[in-house]
């Protein structure tokens, strides 16, 4: 059963294709873009406008999800084989497109670009030139194209491929738009509550000199401590996990299948988090990363199960549909608005058995706070502050290799992982004054609660 916005979008797209060949749909993460795209394709097939559908998406797990959804909508196979109505492929598969381009020249095909903004690069790595050329060729040869996105803005200023922009403002022009404010109003998406946790007092010891900082912003800007090092500090991990676990435990009292997502910065960081989660909190977890060939299977197993926590390194950022996720512990070092919104989108999907609130816990890194405030402007809310005294911790830089090692705590040692937990490398492509000791005495929490006052 389609939601009202989906019905309107399908009707609008079918009508629009009578006088245009391309269509851009913007819809909030979690609102149901994929199933909407499936019904748009079905409408074109039913109206004898196309014979085949090709979908491109960012990852293999999303590809599998699209294939499953389209088979349900079309009541036909969607695996590209004989008798199928379409095929789902990754953008990476554009390396081998000779057959596809030949088929497009001789067939009536709808090509769907899922999360089309990925094609412009991620801000750090630019778009692949040959890939963009192939996408442009495909767009020109396709009978119709449908571009999907949940994040139309790009803080790196890179334009979204194939999108139309206003002049001179440069705002994107969408053929159909359904934003998070509308989705929350219609009970399509959960209302997000973002808690930004700040550090009230940080003492940095550099040899014999002591410096005190009262928030993360000044610590990062003036204290010569990288954000990457801070998120790897065991006490920081422990505190954010404690807040996240406490919230998920309460939610699971009424919804036993509610799940939590922890986003790590690297595989080693994920192992560190997993060890603390198990050793200190006695919580088991599923860890998925691009290093593991069975990650798609692990994600599907978690999706259909009732276990509590899944730890991800850029595996569950966008398009991955696990509706039971309701809490996110954000410990990644990626601080772009695009990634922030993508992660938030993983926990705002509405389910019948869970409450309509989603919770993200993160550090008060200046950029992340800016994005949260921007979201709060779109979804009017309020700020709430709270303070809590925390355990004192320290970094010791007495090692000759220049790395920083945290104070020893038996909860953080897991010899099975072959990893010295708490060992932080401050010299990865960055310049920092050697730090011998960092003491954190308090955390301060800033809660950015988003809700719709006018509804």
pLDDT digits (tens, 9 = 90+) for 347-388: 999 999 999 899 999 999 999 988 888 888 877 542 333 333
Higher-pLDDT residue of 420 and 255 is: 255
pLDDT for 149 equals 84
Q: For the chain, what percent of residues have pLDDT higher than 70? A: 74
- Confidence at 406, pLDDT banded by 50, 70, 90: very low
pLDDT for 161 equals 56
Q: Is the dihedral of CA 308, 312, 317, 322 positive or negative?
A: negative
Q: In whole angstroms, give the CA distance from residue 198 to residue 445.
A: 6
pLDDT for 111 equals 92
pLDDT digits (tens, 9 = 90+) for 268-278: 999 999 999 99
Q: Where are the domains of the chain?
A: 4-178, 191-450
Q: In whole angstroms, give the CA distance from residue 374 to residue 361.
A: 17
Q: In whole angstroms, give the CA distance from residue 142 to residue 153.
A: 26
Higher-pLDDT residue of 21 and 381 is: 21
Q: In whole angstroms, give the CA distance from residue 438 to residue 408.
A: 14
- Confidence at 449, pLDDT banded by 50, 70, 90: very low
Class of domain 191-450 (CATH, top level): alpha beta
Q: In whole angstroms, give the CA distance from residue 300 to residue 316.
A: 11
Q: What is the mean pLDDT of residues 34-58?
A: 95
Per mean pLDDT, which range of 241-255, 268-282, 395-409 is the poorest? Answer: 395-409
The b/e string for 242-254 (b: 16+ C-beta within 10 A; e otherwise) is bbbbebbeebbee
Q: Which fold has domain 4-178?
A: Rossmann fold (3.40.50)
> Are both 4-178 and 191-450 of the same fold?
yes
What is the average pLDDT score of the chain? 78
User: C-alpha distances in angstroms, 98 versus 102, 137, 319?
Assistant: 6, 11, 27
pLDDT for 313 equals 87
Tokens of 156: 């790196």
Q: In whole angstroms, give the CA distance from residue 76 to residue 300.
A: 22
pLDDT for 391 equals 26
Most confident among 207-216, 225-234, 437-446 (mean pLDDT): 225-234
């Amino acid at each position: 059963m389609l939601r009202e916005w989906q019905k309107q979008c399908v009707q609008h797209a079918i009508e629009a294709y009578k006088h245009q060949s391309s269509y851009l749909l913007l819809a909030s993460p979690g609102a149901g873009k994929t199933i909407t795209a499936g019904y748009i394709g079905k409408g074109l097939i039913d109206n004898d406008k196309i014979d085949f559908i090709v979908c491109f998406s960012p990852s293999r797990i999303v590809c599998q999800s699209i294939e499953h959804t389209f088979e349900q909508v079309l009541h036909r196979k969607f695996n590209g084989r004989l008798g199928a109505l379409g095929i789902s492929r990754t953008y990476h598969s554009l390396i081998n497109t000779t057959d596809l381009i030949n088929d497009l020249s001789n067939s009536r095909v709808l090509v769907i670009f899922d999360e089309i903004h990925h094609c412009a690069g991620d801000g750090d790595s630019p778009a692949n030139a040959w890939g963009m050329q192939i996408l442009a060729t495909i767009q020109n040869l396709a009978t119709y194209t449908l571009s999907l996105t949940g994040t139309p803005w790009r803080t790196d200023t890179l334009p979204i491929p194939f999108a139309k922009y206003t002049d001179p403002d440069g705002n994107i022009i969408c053929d159909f738009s359904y934003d998070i404010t509308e989705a929350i109003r219609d009970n399509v998406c959960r209302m997000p509550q973002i808690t930004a946790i700040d550090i009230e007092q940080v003492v940095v010891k550099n040899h014999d000199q002591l410096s005190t900082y009262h928030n993360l912003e000044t610590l990062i800007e003036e204290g010569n401590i990288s954000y990457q090092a801070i998120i790897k500090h065991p006490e920081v991990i422990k505190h954010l996990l404690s807040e996240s676990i406490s919230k998920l435990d309460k939610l699971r009292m009424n919804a036993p299948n509610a799940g939590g997502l922890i986003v790590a910065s690297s595989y080693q960081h994920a192992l560190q988090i997993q060890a603390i989660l198990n050793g200190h909190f006695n919580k088991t977890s599923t860890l998925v990363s691009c290093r593991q060939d069975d990650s798609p299977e692990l994600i599907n197993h978690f999706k259909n199960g009732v276990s509590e926590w899944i730890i991800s390194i850029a595996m569950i950022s966008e398009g991955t549909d696990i509706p039971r996720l309701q809490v996110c512990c954000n410990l990644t070092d990626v601080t772009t608005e695009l990634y922030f919104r993508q992660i938030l989108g993983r926990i705002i999907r509405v389910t019948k058995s869970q409450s309509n609130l989603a919770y993200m816990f993160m550090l008060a890194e200046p950029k992340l706070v800016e994005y949260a405030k921007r979201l709060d402007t779109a979804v009017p809310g309020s700020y709430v502050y709270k303070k809590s005294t925390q355990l004192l911790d320290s970094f010791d830089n007495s090692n000759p290799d220049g790395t920083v090692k945290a104070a020893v705590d038996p909860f953080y040692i897991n010899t099975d992982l072959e990893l010295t937990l708490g060992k932080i490398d401050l010299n990865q492509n960055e310049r920092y004054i050697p730090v011998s000791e960092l003491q954190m005495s308090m955390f301060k929490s800033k809660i950015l609660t988003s809700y719709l006052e006018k509804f």
